[in-house]
A and B are shown apart, each in its own frame.
Chain A
Amino acid sequence: MRAIGRYRTHLAASLFVALVPSILLAGTNEIPRLTFAQLVDSIRANSELTQSIQSYSGKEVEIRGFIIPAGPPDLSFFLLSRVSALGNYCCEMPVGQDETVYVFAAKEVKITYDPLRIFKIVGVFEAGMRTDAAYGPSLFRMRNATVEEALGAKIFKTEEIASPASKP
């Protein structure tokens, strides 16, 4: 019985030693998520950008938003926007370059396109004014991007908005 108990202790210790580093590593590999609010906040005079947003340049990030099919219908290029361009603009005004990301897809995009659905885009982020020969100037870009439906994505995080009554 004692031998079995010792065996169990060794097994638990071995599993702990084996799994903890992988859990820690998995945590460090998480792709950072940028929001359109962060993009807007990063813009300074003369289209200059903050160091904090520029630190994401060349790194893989995730941004969620509406797809505006501004390029060819294979979606090899499209705009990612905070607001859907194909809605009736009932509650939001269309956005400008501060809330628009130029997305260059890595490979054939296989999604069921829906102008009113939020998609999750993961790609290599680029910040800073640059002019593309085909699509013109832009502040934010994502290259080698993959596209998937953002299931359960929240458009507004109401719980984060403090109600007037809760203010001191």
Chain B
Amino acid sequence: MTIFTVAFKYLRGRLVASTLTAVSVALGVSLVVASVLLARGIKEGFIAGATDYNLVVGAKGSPTQLVLSVVFRMDLATPNIEYTIYQDLEQDPRVEIAVPVGIGDAYQGFRYVATNGAYFAPFSWRRKTFSLSSGRFFADGPPNDATYEAVLGAKAADSTGLRIGDRFYEGEEMAEYPLTVVGILQPTHSADDRAIFFSLSSYWGMNEVARKMTVKPLTAVLVRPKRMSDLPSLHRELNVAAETQAVLPSGVLLTIFNMMAVAEDVLTMILAIVGVIVLLYVFVSMYSATLERRREIATMRALGARRTTVLGIVLAESCALAAAGGVAGILGGHAVAYLAGSLLARSGLVANPFLFNVLEPAVLGSVILLGTLAGLLPAILAYRTEVAENLAPLS
């Protein structure tokens, strides 16, 4: 009989206590794994969903609100700017492309985004490409020629159940201007999957106030300069203007990441405490188990088992508990991250819970090592068990 067979039999002998210890290790590890995966997944989601445009121009106010509403559709839209700002940027010799964006209400929680064909254009510098899974893009007519045609993002189409040719609206005031689905986009794995796109003429046509305005309103303009070195001057000019602010979307995201890093530091401290508690639990479990079976250990010793064999059995037990808990914890952590990621996706944040961290084998190794070390003191206790003392008659 090997050390591992004996250790396994001992673990099976106190099944409930062994299972509870392994479960506590699994819960601790899954908490760590899920937290790390979610934090990383949210960050990766932000990076993957970031716009390819280098400047977002909108009304004066919060840069974070502007980027979160226009790029990620996660916040309320900032106040409007005038359409002439887009026209001026389009004429600016430093600008390669300017794309107007109007953020509207929503249908079943999926935001209306008014824009023109340039939003979907496949420029060579774009990481994100738009293609239709069915139908066509909306007609991009002049301001007074509203077609009320809509193109749905993949998630918006899937969740609402709308298909090509369906007409829809939400709210009484929109009943007069129902939108007709003319196209459905392929998934882009960004906030655009959750948007309903239509033309600016439809955007202005739906709104009573905008219909009467001579200078039409917009929420923002996405800008790509011809050369990146012109970005600072464009940024400055638009920021010193009375009506507009220009924001570097990556700068805003990096500021958000900095804030997330503070939360991650706090989380790391909490997780470290959880880890210590789990290790203490393994230690107490193994210690009490060793105390309980001192007589058995003394019998084994009397039958010829060496001290090192007894030490090895206790260490193998704690190692097995840590390994079982560690593996279950990593699997459980991925499951928790998947569920939490699905919930986050509903609020518009794309997180990838399937990311496999290259450090996970190292995490498992550390758990096994620390779990084994937690059993070291009980193992030494077993090692030092005196045969004569513990084989004395009980009565």
Are the chains A and B members of one assembly?
yes
Q: Which residues of A contact B (CB under 8 A)?
A: 68-75, 78-79, 81, 83, 85-86, 89, 93-97, 100, 102, 112-115, 133-139
Task: Give the Cβ gap from A59 to chain B, nearest Cβ, in Å.
Answer: 22
Q: Are B227 and A97 in contact (CB under 8 A)?
A: yes
Is residue B393 within 8 Å, beta carbon to beta carbon, of the partner chain? no
Q: Are A95 and B257 in contact (CB under 8 A)?
A: no
Q: Which 8 A-B pairs have the closest CB atoms?
A: A94-B232, A97-B229, A69-B250, A113-B254, A73-B253, A100-B229, A73-B250, A136-B227
Contacts of B232 in A (CB 8 A): 68, 79, 81, 83, 85, 94-96, 100
Q: Which residues of B contact A (CB under 8 A)?
A: 46-47, 50, 54, 96, 124-125, 127, 225-233, 235-236, 239-240, 248-251, 253-255, 257-258, 261
Task: Give the Cβ gap from B230 to chain A, nearest Cβ, in Å.
Answer: 7
Contacts of B228 in A (CB 8 A): 70, 79, 100, 102, 135-136, 138
Q: Are A136 and B261 in contact (CB under 8 A)?
A: no
Interface CB pairs A-B, < 8 A, 21: A69-B250, A69-B251, A70-B54, A70-B231, A70-B248, A70-B250, A72-B47, A73-B47, A79-B228, A83-B232, A85-B232, A85-B236, A94-B236, A96-B230, A96-B232, A100-B232, A112-B261, A114-B258, A134-B124, A135-B125, A138-B229
CA distance A127 to B236 in the complex (A): 27
Nearest-neighbor residue (CB-CB) of B255 within chain A: A113
Contacts of B229 in A (CB 8 A): 79, 95-97, 100, 138-139
Contacts of B233 in A (CB 8 A): 94, 96
Contacts of B236 in A (CB 8 A): 85, 89, 93-94
Q: Are B227 and A85 in contact (CB under 8 A)?
A: no
Nearest-neighbor residue (CB-CB) of A87 within chain B: B236
Contacts of A75 in B (CB 8 A): 250, 254
Task: Give the Cβ gap from A24 to chain B, nearest Cβ, in Å.
Answer: 40
Contacts of A133 in B (CB 8 A): 124-125
CA distance A69 to B116 in the complex (A): 27
CA distance A69 to B54 in the complex (A): 9
Q: Are A136 and B46 in contact (CB under 8 A)?
A: no
Contacts of A114 in B (CB 8 A): 258
CA distance A78 to B54 in the complex (A): 11
Nearest-neighbor residue (CB-CB) of A140 within chain B: B229
Besides A79-B232, A94-B236, A113-B255, 17 new A-B residue pairs in contact (Cβ under 8 A), listed by A number: A68-B232, A70-B54, A70-B248, A71-B54, A71-B250, A72-B250, A73-B46, A85-B232, A94-B233, A96-B230, A96-B233, A97-B229, A112-B258, A113-B254, A133-B124, A136-B226, A136-B227
CA distance A89 to B250 in the complex (A): 19
Question: Which among B235, B251, B257 has the highest number of chain A CB atoms within 10 Å?
Answer: B251
Contacts of A93 in B (CB 8 A): 236
Q: Quick one: given A96-B230, A133-B125, A136-B227, are A73 and B235 in contact (CB under 8 Å)? A: no
Select B248's contact among A68, A83, A100, A139, beta carbons within 8 Å. Answer: A68
Contacts of B239 in A (CB 8 A): 89
Q: Are A73 and B227 in contact (CB under 8 A)?
A: no
Nearest-neighbor residue (CB-CB) of A101 within chain B: B229
Task: Give the Cβ gap from B310 to chain A, nearest Cβ, in Å.
Answer: 47
Nearest-neighbor residue (CB-CB) of B256 within chain A: A73
Contacts of A100 in B (CB 8 A): 228-229, 232
Nearest-neighbor residue (CB-CB) of B231 within chain A: A70
Contacts of A139 in B (CB 8 A): 229
Contacts of B50 in A (CB 8 A): 72-73
Contacts of A70 in B (CB 8 A): 54, 228, 231, 248, 250
Q: Are B253 and A138 in contact (CB under 8 A)?
A: no
Task: Give the Cβ gap from B106 to chain A, nearest Cβ, in Å.
Answer: 26
Q: Quick one: given A70-B248, A73-B254, are A85 and B231 in contact (CB under 8 Å)? A: yes
CA distance A114 to B250 in the complex (A): 12
Task: Give the Cβ gap from A74 to chain B, nearest Cβ, in Å.
Answer: 5
Nearest-neighbor residue (CB-CB) of B232 within chain A: A94
Select B240's contact among A89, A135, A136, beta carbons within 8 Å. Answer: A89
Contacts of B235 in A (CB 8 A): 85, 94
Q: Are B125 and A85 in contact (CB under 8 A)?
A: no
Select B231's contact among A68, A74, A115, beta carbons within 8 Å. Answer: A68
Nearest-neighbor residue (CB-CB) of B225 within chain A: A136
CA distance A97 to B225 in the complex (A): 13
Nearest-neighbor residue (CB-CB) of A133 within chain B: B124
Task: Give the Cβ gap from A71 to chain B, nearest Cβ, in Å.
Answer: 7
Question: Which among A83, A94, A95, A97 has the highest number of chain B CB atoms within 10 Å?
Answer: A94
Task: Give the Cβ gap from A51 to chain B, nearest Cβ, in Å.
Answer: 23
CA distance A55 to B212 in the complex (A): 63
Nearest-neighbor residue (CB-CB) of A136 within chain B: B227
Q: Are B258 and A138 in contact (CB under 8 A)?
A: no
Q: Are B125 and A134 in contact (CB under 8 A)?
A: yes
